[in-house]
Amino acid sequence: MKKILLVEDDMNIAELERDYLEADGFAVDISSNGDDGKRLALSGNYSLLLLDVMLPGADGFVICRDVRKTLDIPILMVSARLEDVDKIRALGLGADDYIVKPFSPSELAARVKAHIARYERLKGDVQTIPAVLRFGELEIQPQTHRVFVGGREAHLAAREFDLLLFLAQHPQIVFSKDVLYDRVWGLDAMGNTSTVSVHMNRLREKIEPIPAKPRWLQTVWGAGYRFNGESAVTDSV
């Protein structure tokens, strides 16, 4: 049984969410305090984290940032705050989804299942991917989720890495935001394609020598994005 950590200080909401998730076959632990939630999250015992933004102790942003440094499991953030800046901050810190209250518990359960299924699918496919993809100074290691530019490691959040890897596996092909969201996030119409732009901008900041004039991650105006590179030089295990 897959375990989910739910960090929420409103126990009425937490218990309702727990009931729906348990009805779908998940085991759910609840923490009502951010500091305790972060400690539990970092234990590595969970398949997914569900974080409220406003918490006593460490807030959801802090927990997301610290967990993402060591774990690549799905992180879903929940908040009553509608401001785009909060969504952008959450996604930039490595969250996989941002859900605005109020929402239906059944929608939450559907998103949780979709994120876990996608994560497991990617993990299951790892043996079919080359150990290393090289595009000049850019080196991508799919099986270890590491990226190097000119020999220096670029530390990417899990979804940033997924987006880069997908584009690098299809060089010179233009993908719209909708297609990238569907293929990388895998949630169909359950989210916002502006997420793609946020992650693309952060990727460029981390791997491009001149982010304003990207060498690899190029915008095709009115169409989408493409990875500018010839077929990769690959190393197998």
CATH: 3.30.360.10, 1.10.3720.10, 3.40.50.2300, 3.30.1780.10. Which one for 3-124? 3.40.50.2300
Q: Which amino acid does the sequence have at 117?
A: A
85: which residues sit within 8 A by CB, 6+ positions away? Answer: none
Q: What is the pLDDT of residues 83-116, one digit of tens each?
A: 778 888 888 888 888 888 888 888 888 889 888 8
Confidence of residue 11 (pLDDT cuts 50, 70, 90): very high
Give the total residue count for the chain: 237
Q: What is the pLDDT of residues 172-216, one digit of tens each?
A: 889 998 888 878 887 544 556 788 999 999 999 999 999 999 999
Nearest Cα to Cα of residue 142 among 152, 158, 150: 158
> How many CB atoms lie under 10 A from the CB of residue 173?
12
Ranges of each domain in the chain: 3-124, 127-235
Distances (CA, A) of 25 to 2, 19, 48, 106: 8, 10, 14, 13
Q: What is the pLDDT of residues 170-181, one digit of tens each?
A: 888 899 988 888
Return d(Cα 168, Cα 228) in angstroms, integer.
8
Structure tokens at 203: 């990727």
Return d(Cα 67, Cα 44) in angstroms, integer.
9
CATH number of 127-235: 1.10.10.10
Q: What is the pLDDT of residues 41-66, one digit of tens each?
A: 998 889 999 999 999 999 999 999 99
* Under 8 Å between Cβ of 187 and 98: no
Nearest Cα to Cα of residue 140 among 120, 119, 115, 160: 160
| Strand pairing report for 97-100 and 3-7 | unpaired
Structure tokens at 70: 């060591």
